[in-house]
Amino acid sequence: MPDRAGAFRGDRPGDEGLVFPDIGPEERRPSIGPAVPRGSLGLGLSFRTRLMMGLIAAAISPLAVFGAVVFLLGRAVDDATVGRILLLVLVFAAMIAVLLAYLLAADLTAPLRAIAAAVERTSAGDLSTPIVVPGEDELARLAESHNRLASDLERRNRELGRILVALESGSPRDSPEFIAGRAAGDARTAFGLIDAEVRLVDPATVPAEERIPGESLPVRAVLRVGTDRLGVIVGHLPATRQWDRADQDLLELYASEIAVAIRNAQLFAQVESQNAQLVELDAAKDDFLRGVSHNLQTPLTSIRATADQLGRDRDDHRFGIIVEQTDRLSRMVRQLLTVTRLESGALRPRSEVVALAHPVRRAWEALAADGVTFAIDDQSAGWLAVADVDQLDQVLWALLDNAVKYGEGSAIDVEIAPETGPGPSRLRLTIADHGRGVTEADRGRLFRRFERGSDRTADDGSGLGLYVSRELCLAMGGDLVLEPTAADRGAAFSIYLPGEPPADADLGSTTVDQQT
């Protein structure tokens, strides 16, 4: 008899290359496992025959012996001897009957005990050890039924285990097609299918196959997520395999898990591609701005350099005007770029130390506002601001430009002073003009984009200056505020920046003497 016992052993879920057994009742003859002790009277007869024979033997044999003895003794001995002998024979016959009954009981109960023990083992979870009862009798068939039940249970356990392993191995980064392909392979192994396929199409377009007796058995399950049907899994079982309700339920459970995995992958891919698109758009915008900036700044650079050179050759203040206006234009281009960058969060200011009076003076010179009185009251006493000098330059230029424009030619005062209260040290730089100041109505919306003073007929400027300046100050860890209205001045804006207290060369306790 072919040894198919391997299929019944406790293969762990996930073991590959396992051949699922044909489990037709006629074919299964496991040959290992605990052999059930066979009674001495068995002789391959059926349980019923053995029981009948045993009962008859137990009842008849003492009578037969008794009868035979009576027959023999009746002719040969006297009555007294007969009485003794009969008593002896009766005792002997009773002993035979007891022995026969014992043997019969043993023969009949041993397989039953073995089956009971096997059922105990099965219910305790050991599905791998079949009971072996040779022959064709009722007990052998009972053992066989048990074995089949156990192996079915074991197979389903294994299928479940493989399904769980298959479901765990996925990642949301896998493509739906990859997941479908892998799910088909996993289903084939887990359910012992001849072939399996996951089709990510409307299940209605995949016709259900009819079952033809003797040929492979078609199985299918729809991939459902809620009310959505993402596809269908179809496959075939060997013709000899059984496929019952529990198997179908398991396959459908598996299909719905696959459907969830595929849906997750689809959503993940969607988010990924949207992200990629956004990044691409961002990069494209950056490139575009860079291009715009380049195309505007390059001619300005040529103009400026030419005017600069001509101005050096000939003493004509008009070249100076060209240079100044070119600078103004290029600053405005820069301002627009800065706005965009601030909005996309791409602006990362640097933190360098700077004495505020220096950039203020430079910005003032760049502005070339002739005829306007300008004074710096520097009380910084060695305090340095921590700022991005390039960005600070933009802020100072915008604020001074505003002061000149809206101060209507009045004197401009700049005050620089450290602010050492509780919290981190800051430097304050206040730029005040002596114009009409800012109206109450304007105060609230001054720092918004594209806003200008309502009573002011600004003929130039983008309306971005204060907005950009404030955002830049915030980005540098500072702030820009409009000071309260005061009688002795017009508009006054204060820049606050992180400050560094003065240091001298000898600061730092590990000081070494000069070495040559």
Partner 1 sequence: MLSGGPGGREAPPRILIVDDDPNLLVLLADQLRADGFDIQTARDGDEALRRLRTGWPDLLVIDMMMPRMDGLSLAREIKGRADLPIIVLSAIDAGDSKADLLEEVAEDYVTKPYHYPELRARINRVLRRLGDKVPRQSLVLGPDLTLDLHRREATVRGETVQLTPTESRLLYALAANLGQTVTTETLLARGWAETEDADPSYVWVTMRRLRQKVELDANRPVHLQTVRGIGYRLIGLQGASLVGPEPARRSDA
Per CB under 8 A, residues contacting partner 1 are 286, 290-291, 293-294, 296-298, 300-302, 304-306, 308-309, 326-327, 330, 334, 337-338, 341, 346-355, 358, 361-362, 382, 384, 386, 388-391, 500, 502-515
What are 385's strand-pairing partners? 354, 499
Give least dist CB 493 to partner 1, A: 22
Q: Which of 426, 395, 429, 427 is nearest to 412 (CA)?
A: 429
Decide if 405 contacts 420 (C-beta within 8 A).
Answer: no
Q: Taking phi first (over 0 means left), then psi (-120 to 50 degrees means alpha), and beta for anything else, what does residue 450 get?
A: left
Return the number of the residue (157 or 293) whose C-beta is nearest partner 1. Answer: 293
Give how far the C-alpha of residue 241 lies from the chain's centroid of Cα atoms, to the nearest Å. Answer: 38
Q: Hey, how many other C-beta atoms are within 10 angstroms of the C-beta on 422?
A: 4
Tokens of 283: 């990069």
- Residue (301 or 420) nearer to partner 1, CB: 301
CB of 309 to partner 1, least distance (A): 6
* Residue 77 or 346 having the CB closest to partner 1: 346
Name the minimum Å distance from CB 125 to partner 1.
Answer: 51
State residue 112 phi and psi, 5-degree precision: -65, -40
Shortest distance, CB of residue 290 to partner 1, whole angstroms?
A: 6
Q: How far is the CB of 350 from partner 1 (least distance, A)?
A: 5
Write out 30-41 in H/E/C secondary structure: CCCCCECCCCCC
Which helix (H) or strand (E) segment is 268 a member of? helix 245-313
Supply the minimum distance, in Å, between the C-beta of residue 500 and partner 1: 5
For residue 195, give both structure tokens: 């072939």
> Which own/partner pairs from 355-359 qualify as long-range (CB within 8 Å, at least 24 positions apart)?
355/380, 355/384, 355/385, 356/380, 356/384, 356/385, 356/416, 356/427, 356/429, 356/497, 357/416, 359/389, 359/392, 359/393, 359/396
Q: Decide whether 198 or 476 has the Cβ nearer to partner 1.
A: 476
State the Cα–Cα distance between residues 511 and 516, nearest whole angstrom.
15
The two beta strands, 412-419 and 228-237, are unpaired
CB-nearer residue toward partner 1: 375 or 505:
505
Distance in Å, CB of 200 to partner 1, minimum: 40
CB of 470 to partner 1, least distance (A): 15
Cβ proximity to partner 1: between 384 and 480 the closer is: 384
Closest contact distance (angstroms) between CB of 428 and partner 1 is: 18
Joined together, the tokens standing for residue 217 give 């058995």
Nearer to partner 1, 83 or 382 (CB): 382
- What minimum distance in Å lies between the beta carbon of 258 and partner 1? 43
Taking the complex as a whole, how short is the minimal distance between the CB of residue 506 and partner 1, in angstroms? Answer: 5
Query: Do residues 68 and 38 touch, judged by C-beta distance below 8 A?
Result: no
Cβ-based nearer residue to partner 1, 127 or 366: 366
Q: In terms of CB distance, is 151 or 335 closer to partner 1?
A: 335
Are 185 and 198 a contacting pair, CB within 8 Å?
Answer: no
For 481, counting Cβ atoms within 10 Å of its Cβ (0-12 exposed, 13-18 middle, 19+ buried), the class is middle
Based on CB atoms, which residue is closest to partner 1, 186 or 388? 388
Selection from 409, 397, 417 nearest residue 466 by Cα: 397
How far apart, in whole angstroms, are the C-alpha atoms of residue 367 and residue 494? 19
Comparison of 390 and 415: residue with beta carbon closer to partner 1: 390
Structure tokens at 317: 């203040």
Q: Please answer whether residues 236 and 194 qualify as being in contact, where contact means their C-beta atoms are separated by less than 8 angstroms.
A: yes
| List of residues 6+ apart from 260 with CB closer than 8 A | 225
CB of 504 to partner 1, least distance (A): 6
User: Which residues of 388-455 form beta strands (DSSP E)?
Assistant: 412-419, 426-432
Q: Which is nearer to partner 1, 225 or 329 (CB)?
A: 329
E strand or H helix that includes residue 113: helix 79-123
